[in-house]
Amino acid sequence: MEFEETNEESVSDIFEKILIGSCQIKDGLKLRNLDIKNSKNVHFYKLNTDGPLSQSIDEEENIIGSQLWQLPCIEFENIWENLIYDTQLKNDVMSYVYALVHLSEKHVNSKIINVNRLILLVGPPGTGKTSLCKGLAQHLSIRLNNRYTHSVMIEINSHSLFSKWFSESGKLVQKMFDQIDDLAEDSKCMVFVLIDEVESLGMCRESSNSRAEPADAIRAVNALLTQIDRIRRRDNVLILCTSNLEDSLDRALIDRADIVKNVGEPSTLALYAMLKSCIMEMIRIGVVELKDNENIPEDIQSYDEIPSSSKTLFKIAQQSHGLSGRAISMLPTLVYSKKS
Interface residues with ligand ATP (CB under 6 A) are 82-85, 125-131, 242, 244, 266, 274, 325-326, 329
Residues that bind Mg ion (CB under 5 A): 130
Considering the complex, state which of residue 65 and residue 325 has its C-beta at the smaller distance from ligand ATP.
325
- Nearest approach in angstroms of CB 271 to Mg ion is 19
Question: Which residues are within 8 A (CB) of 310 and not within 5 positions of it... i.e. 6 or more apart?
Answer: 294, 295, 296, 297
Q: Say if residue 266 is preceded by a cis peptide, omega within 30 of 0.
A: no
Q: How far apart (Å, rounded) are the C-alpha atoms in residues 128 and 329?
A: 11
Residue 80 beta carbon to ligand ATP: minimum distance, rounded to whole angstroms: 10
User: What is the number of the residue whose Cβ is closest to ligand ATP?
Assistant: 325
The Cα–Cα gap between 113 and 79 comes to 32
Q: Check the CA dihedral 29-33-39-45 and report its sign.
A: positive
Contact 296, 310 (CB under 8 A): yes
Three-class secondary structure assignment of 29-51: CCCCCCCCCCCCCCCCCCCECCC
Is the Cβ of residue 126 or residue 170 nearer to Mg ion in the bound state?
Answer: 126
Q: Which does 126 bind (CB under 5 to 8 A by kind): ligand ATP, Mg ion, none?
A: ligand ATP
48 binds, among Mg ion, ligand ATP, none (CB under 5 to 8 A by kind): none
The item of Mg ion, ligand ATP, none sharing an interface with residue 329, based on CB under 5 to 8 Å by kind, is: ligand ATP
Cβ of residue 340: shortest distance to ligand ATP, in angstroms?
22
Residue 21 site contact among ligand ATP, Mg ion, none (CB < 5 to 8 Å, cut-off depends on kind): none
Torsion angle of C-alpha atoms 64, 240, 266, 340, degrees rounded to 10? -30
Residue 38 CB, nearest approach to ligand ATP (Å) = 36
